């Protein structure tokens, strides 16, 4: 469904700061996959998402969606198939506008015309969807999004993104900036929505236990390559210790500093 072929991504080519972030990375994402991605800082997790979403265009290699080769498509065009949620809860919504106005903007992808969609019927629909969040947001449709807490905003972003029915959901450490209680809540909602709307999703996380507990497939990134790709039964039987051992086997490098970062 999504295929990355031999992606190379080098920043600052020809400068002393040249940085080879992705190193011939190839990956095939199947429909219905819920992939968790781990890897230490600088392994290329965020760059991978940026290449898929089109924020960066790869130095070489191809990005192929169901629609065809999208490697040269600009970010805004590709965005019609992608729902991306960032770590920063402020990035998914416009804080200066009301909940309902925000939801009007995101309910459908693509350029908007000169019609007023917001009516009683649509408000009812929004209300019904917001009830799922269980945050009493259904009674705050005309409040500014800026008055919501970080957790509420991220949950709202998640709901808005899911409702636009993207082909793939990219979750870029989307709970990392939240307090533990809200993080758990947003993660729980994420799983529920992925199941309910049978979405294909990729989730970057820094928490190994989380990566093991959620999803049906796990990727470990290191030095711009997928060094470990596990799914099905094998993934279910994983433990953090096993994962660390696996990493040692593959890399045979000092894992101490990375372990500290990952757990």
Partner 1 sequence: MIEGILVEGLIYGIMALGVFITFRILDFPDLSVDGTFPLGAAVMASTLTAGWNPLLCLLLAFAAGAAAGMLTALIHNTLKVPGLLAGILTMTMLWSINIRVLGGRANLPLMRVETMLTRFQHGLGAALSQPAALLLFCFAVVLVIKLAMDFFFHTDLGLTLGALGFNEQMIIAQGIDPRALKYIALALANGLVAVSGAFAAQYQGFADVNLGQGIIVSGLAMVMLGEFILRSNRIGWLTSRVILGSIAYRAIMYAGRYYGYYINLTPNDLKLITGILIIAALAVTKLQDKKGAAKKGKAKK
Interface positions with partner 1 (CB under 8 A): 74-77, 79-80, 82-84, 86, 90-98, 101-102, 104-106, 109-118, 144, 164
| CB 117, min distance to partner 1, A | 5
- CB-neighbour burial class of residue 233 (10 A; exposed 0-12, middle 13-18, buried 19+): exposed
| CB 56, min distance to partner 1, A | 14
| CB 107, min distance to partner 1, A | 9
Give 142 or 263: the residue with its C-beta nearer to partner 1: 142
Residues 217, 38: contact at Cβ < 8 Å?
Answer: no
Residues 6+ apart with CB under 8 A from 55: 75
Residues 8, 48: contact at Cβ < 8 Å?
Answer: no
Locate 62 and state its tokens. 């191809």
Beta strands in 163-224 (DSSP E): 168-172, 200-204, 217-222
| CB 79, min distance to partner 1, A | 4
Residues 121, 128: contact at Cβ < 8 Å?
Answer: no
Residue 124, phi-psi category: left (phi > 0), alpha (psi -120 to 50), beta (remainder): alpha
| CB 85, min distance to partner 1, A | 9
Phi, psi of 85 (to 5 degrees): -120, 130
| CB 55, min distance to partner 1, A | 9
Give 86 or 247: the residue with its C-beta nearer to partner 1: 86
For residue 170, what is the enclosing H or E element? strand 168-172
Give 134 or 143: the residue with its C-beta nearer to partner 1: 143
Locate 42 and state its tokens. 């600088």
Give 150 or 230: the residue with its C-beta nearer to partner 1: 150
Q: Which 3 state secondary structure label does DSSP give 234?
A: helix
| CB 129, min distance to partner 1, A | 17
Give 58 or 92: the residue with its C-beta nearer to partner 1: 92
Give 61 or 92: the residue with its C-beta nearer to partner 1: 92
Give 40 or 73: the residue with its C-beta nearer to partner 1: 73
Residues 6+ apart with CB under 8 A from 161: 83, 84, 85, 92, 106, 169
């Amino acid at each position: 469904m999504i295929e990355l072929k031999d992606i190379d991504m080098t920043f600052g080519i020809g400068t002393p700061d040249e940085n080879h972030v992705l190193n011939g990375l190839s990956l095939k994402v199947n429909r219905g996959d819920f992939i968790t991605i781990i890897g230490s800082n600088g392994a290329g997790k965020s760059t991978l998402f940026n290449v898929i979403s089109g924020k960066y265009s790869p130095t070489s290699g191809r990005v192929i969606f169901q629609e065809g080769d999208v490697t040269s498509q600009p970010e805004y065009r590709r965005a019609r198939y992608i729902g991306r949620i960032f770590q920063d809860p402020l990035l998914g919504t416009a804080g200066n506008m009301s909940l309902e106005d925000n939801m009007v903007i995101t309910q459908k992808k693509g350029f908007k015309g000169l019609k007023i969609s917001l009516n009683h019927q649509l408000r009812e629909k929004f209300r019904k969807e917001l009830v799922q969040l269980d945050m009493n947001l259904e009674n705050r449709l005309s409040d500014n999004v800026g008055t919501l807490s970080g957790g509420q905003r991220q949950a709202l972003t998640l709901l808005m993104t899911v409702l636009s029915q993207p082909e793939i959901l990219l979750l870029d450490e989307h709970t990392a900036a939240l307090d533990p209680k809200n993080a758990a809540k947003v993660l729980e909602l994420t799983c529920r929505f992925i199941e309910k709307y049978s979405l294909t999703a990729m989730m970057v996380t820094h928490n190994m236990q989380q990566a093991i507990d959620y999803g049906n497939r796990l990727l470990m990134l290191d030095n711009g390559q997928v060094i470990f790709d596990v799914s099905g039964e094998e993934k279910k039987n994983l433990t953090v210790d096993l994962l660390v051992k696996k990493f040692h086997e593959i890399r045979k490098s000092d894992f101490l500093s990375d372990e500290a970062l990952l757990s």
